[in-house]
Amino acid sequence: MAARRALKAVLVDLSGTLHIEDAAVPGSQEALKRLRGTSVIVRFVTNTTKESKQDLLERLRKLEFDISEDEIFTSLTAARSLVEQKQVRPMLLVDDRALPDFKGIQTSDPNAVVVGLAPEHFHYEILNQAFRLLLDGAPLIAIHKARYYKRKDGLALGPGPFVTALEYATDTKATVVGKPERTFFLEALRGTGCEPEEAVMIGDDSRDDVGGAQNAGMLGILVKTGKYRAADEEKINPPPYLTCESFPHAVDHILQHLL
């Protein structure tokens, strides 16, 4: 790791890393304060398809985390910045709760399609509309491509199958914007003035958090909270830079060894 430079930025996953549902991972608020006592820039990065930044922020504040809205970077943010970069007017197949994150974006007379987790939009009529836009050359942007998710009444189809349906029908490929895409991590660093080689990512998902970040040139720290299952660290190659018990341990390691 000859090219590694002094650490300047720490990216932190939210769900499973700082909190599990409505409970904070013990000691995390304290650990975040210790991290903020240093000169590093902190960003919070998460794959979400329904919760707007405001929703996330409210939950974190209830748990007494010291976090501001502009420090949060989500897959919805990434979709929005891609839409702005391409200067397109998207048809938004996203949950109503996610709409605040697209405030101010032109959506009339659409020439792009953005797909999140939105069961209420995944039906014949709407999919035909999206399909016709794509055939006319509109880009397809997927917030992520999850196959399914767990609901109280059992497994339910995620956005991935419907993105795949549109890809097949139009012979195109969606641009996926969430973790573990390389561009997601690079976008999260935009505005921090930091290079990937100067950043570390902390998360509970071996592939999406750690693998994705390391693939983008960062260090990755896997925490054994949230969705972590034994031997998850062996699922990626190269393995995580470090695997540790929880977020506070990760912060201790950073303070002692990376600064």
Query: CA of 226: how far to CAs of 14, 31, 118, 138, 253, in Å?
Result: 10, 17, 24, 38, 20
For 255, other C-beta atoms within 10 Å of its C-beta total 15
Using CB under 8 A as the binding rule, whether residue 156 contacts another protein is answered as yes
Radius of gyration of the chain (CA): 19
Q: Based on the shown chain and the rule CB under 8 A, indicate whether residue 170 belongs to the binding site for another protein.
A: yes
Q: What is the DSSP letter of 96?
A: G
Nearest to 122 by CA among 162, 79, 95, 153: 162
Cis peptide before 238 (omega within 30 of 0): yes
Q: Does residue 49 belong to the site contacting another protein (CB under 8 A)?
A: no
Shortest distance in whole angstroms from residue 166 CB to another protein:
7
Number of residues that bind another protein (CB under 8 A): 29
Using an 8 Å Cβ cutoff, are 79 and 121 in contact? no
Length of the chain: 259
- The one segment of 72-80, 119-127, 209-217, 222-230 that binds another protein by CB under 8 A: 119-127
Measured distance CA(247)–CA(88) in Å, rounded: 39
C-beta closer to another protein: residue 109 or 125: 125
Q: Is 4 in the site for another protein (CB under 8 A)?
A: no
Q: Which stretch binds another protein (CB under 8 A): 39-47, 85-93, 161-169, 249-257?
A: 161-169
Interface pick for another protein out of 20, 99, 169, 258 (rule CB under 8 A): 169
- Nearest distance from residue 127's CB to another protein, in Å? 6
Taking contact as CB under 8 A, which single stretch among the options 130-138, 198-206, 207-215, 233-241 is the one that binds another protein? 130-138
Beta strands in 63-130 (DSSP E): 72-74, 90-93, 112-115
Residue type, 140: L
CB of 201 to another protein, least distance (A): 28
Find, among 140, 99, 143, 94, the residue nearest to 119 by Cα.
94
Of 33, 62, 132, 173, the one binding another protein (CB under 8 A) is 132
Q: By CB under 8 A, is residue 155 in contact with another protein?
A: yes
Determine, following the binding rule CB under 8 A, whether residue 173 of this chain makes contact with another protein: no
Q: Of the candidates 16, 139, 158, 220, which one interacts with another protein according to CB under 8 A? A: 158
Interface contacts to another protein, rule CB under 8 A: 119-120, 122-125, 127-128, 131-132, 135, 147-148, 154-158, 160-162, 164-171
